[in-house]
Amino acid sequence: MSTFVKYIVNEYNRIKFSENLSRIKDAGFDGVFISSTKSMSLPDSANWRSDFLPISRMIDLACEKGLKTGVILVCFHSPSLWKQDSFSPPVGFSGAAYVPDDWYHPICPNNPIGLEYFYRLIDKMARISAPDYFYLEYLRFPFFWEKEELDVQNRVPPFCYCPFCVTEFSSVVGEIITSPQQIIEMMPEWLQWRSTTIFNAIIDAKLTLGKNSKLIISLPPLTLIDLPFTTGQLPLAITDEGCFVSPYLHHKQKKKNLMWVEDLLDQYRLDMKIRKILPCFEASTRKELDKYISWARENVFPGVIFHEWSKLRDNL
């Protein structure tokens, strides 16, 4: 079993980065997952191209240290895109535009600007030194799981109901949709269509990036049964395509304990091949790290990912 740690970098500094890689290696990790874009966008920057880090150099450095590599791709979230004049925000079922009240800036997967961003991102990443893994983040649109709880009473899926989505859906079902209320009558078709939208994005990423690297799709901490309705993600179809899934099990962020982590993973284990799951744990001490590693070893996961190096490094 391989152990990985995420290392989110905001500014690239070769010496600092190299020192941290050595410490990651010394701490016993087999590999590092690095961000392809800066964790915070520049103030007033509407140019998302300026968000990119020199990722090829960073991968080469990690390889030189004898570390396996993963690159985190932020797919449908970008504060920089929100600053562009031509950008239009996602729209909720009630018709109200999404208003970010925190760091999360979701992008509709059918918004042309969002799609352009996604395809440029994967095309750009196809040209870098191939890492062992690409880690696709923020496909969970628009579920802000870090702050929100799943509303099980909600009968309308929290997807986007913007004009791009409604127009696209109209053309798929061959009927003119003028209001989100009409969608309620076509719920099975709507759910299938939105899942297909997300699934096709994953397939395209696999075709573009999957030749020399394996793909991991991150999932919010939800049970398998809740994922398609809430996020449009289909974990079983994703693994059938040869991708891995990585459920986020950030127990501290969610104010939960290890039991919560075990329960969620048990449900994955029942329905899914264990060799396809790389859980992402939250650890900030050596004790927590070791506890999760020995527990994951017993469960024969192919690997585990820890969030996040900056929080861990001074406690090891």
Residues that bind Zn ion (CB under 5 A): 108, 110, 160, 162, 164-165
**Running DSSP on this structure, what letter comes out for residue 302?**
S
Q: What is the DSSP letter of 226?
A: T
Of 164 and 309, which CB lies nearer to Zn ion in the complex structure?
A: 164
CB of 97 to Zn ion, least distance (A): 11
Closest CB 114 distance from Zn ion, rounded Å:
8
Task: Give me the least distance between CB of 164 and Zn ion, in Å please.
Answer: 5
DSSP H helical ranges for the chain:
14-26, 55-64, 79-82, 112-125, 163-173, 180-184, 187-209, 227-231, 235-240, 258-271, 286-298, 309-312
| Least Cβ distance, residue 168 to Zn ion (angstroms) | 8
Burial class (CB in 10 A: 0-12, 13-18, 19+), 199: middle
Whose Cβ is closer to Zn ion: residue 70's or residue 142's? 142
To Zn ion, the closest distance from the beta carbon of 177 in angstroms equals 13
Q: CA-CA distance, 111 to 123, in Å (whole number)?
A: 18
Q: Give how far Cα 11 sits from Cα of 35, 54, 55, 60, 103, Å.
A: 11, 10, 12, 17, 18
Q: Which is nearer to Zn ion, 192 or 310 (CB)?
A: 192
Which one, 109 or 221, has the nearer CB to Zn ion?
A: 109
108 versus 198: smaller Cβ distance to Zn ion: 108
Residue type, 20: N
